Amino acid sequence: MRRLCVLAALLATVSIATSGAQAKAPPSGFEVCGVRACAAISAFADAEPLAIGIWFGGDDGAGELSTRLVPPVPFYALHWAFQQGDVHTGYYVPTLSLFRYVGDPASPATRSNSLVHWIKLGQSTRTVLDRLTATLEPFPSPVPSRVTVGGRTVRDPESYLGLWSVAGRPTYDWPLAGFMRIKMTCNLPSPWTDAAADLRISRRGAYLLRDATVLRISLALARQVRARASLR
């Protein structure tokens, strides 16, 4: 029953987030940024298809991912606002053909739910984004300066980035002992290190929670994480 309640809550949150956005482009369009510069797309005829593509995957077979293997790689930041001073940020990861955003992209950022969405992009959306970023240098893969598991510092923090791409079997099981938070500290906001990124290890057994997806992993790896050991 607990597992069914958790699943129902997640599905309800997704429904609220997607219905709220209504695929409407923000009035000022989008700003796409790399390390040193940004490019803008403001014409409604261009911004509206882009909004549909990055928030819902467009109409060419793309869409939201339920199982995520998302190794940290270079990326770009996208910014938009539906109200003055209420700026949202999402991330375009060209190597993986993914866009990542949090909550409802059309609601005030301070009141958006915290559900993370990873969207597989269609080719038409990729074409627009690749044109916008053609002259921009992407942000590099993040390198955490500190990682904690359950509040205690690990050895070799950079090795813990590998947990974003470790293979595992999705499951609806929820360990009764719960999870410990794996928190990464980095001076570069990214899909893997910002406040919404959610990575946790089960207190017992071999479960990894990665952005609301629970995975069964090897017991040896789970024990390494709980011991705060290097994962190399």
**What local confidence, expressed as pLDDT, does residue 85 receive?**
83
The per-residue pLDDT for 70 is: 93
What is the average pLDDT across 210-222? 94
153 pLDDT more than 90: yes
Q: Write phi, then psi, for 164 (nearest 5 degrees).
A: -75, -15
Question: Is it the case that residue 12 has pLDDT exceeding 80?
Answer: no
Domain ranges across the chain? 2-132, 146-226
pLDDT of residue 23: 55
**Tally: H helices and E strands in the chain:** 4, 14
Phi/psi at 27 (5° precision):
-55, -35
Comparison of pLDDT for 112 and 32, the residue scoring more: 32
What's the mean per-residue pLDDT of the chain?
Answer: 86
Q: What is the pLDDT of residues 59-94, one digit of tens each?
A: 665 788 766 789 999 999 999 999 888 899 999 999
Q: Angle formed by the axes of helices 2-21 and 44-56, to 10°?
A: 170
Percentage with pLDDT > 90 across the chain: 66
Query: For the residues 38-56, what does the mean pLDDT come to?
Result: 89
Question: Mean pLDDT, to the nearest integer, of 115-142?
Answer: 94
Sheet containing 87-93, strands listed edge to edge, beginning at the edge strand earlier in sequence: 38-41, 30-33, 76-81, 87-93, 98-102, 116-120, 63-64
Q: Six-digit token pair at 192? A: 């893997």
Check residue 65 and give its pLDDT: 74
Q: For position 110, what pLDDT does the model report?
A: 60
Burial of 196 (0-12, 13-18, 19+ CB in 10 A): middle
Rounded to two decimals, the pTM is 0.85
* Per-residue pLDDT, 177: 93
Cβ contact 31:81 at 8 Å: no
pLDDT class for 46, splitting at 50, 70, 90? confident
157 has a pLDDT exceeding 80: yes
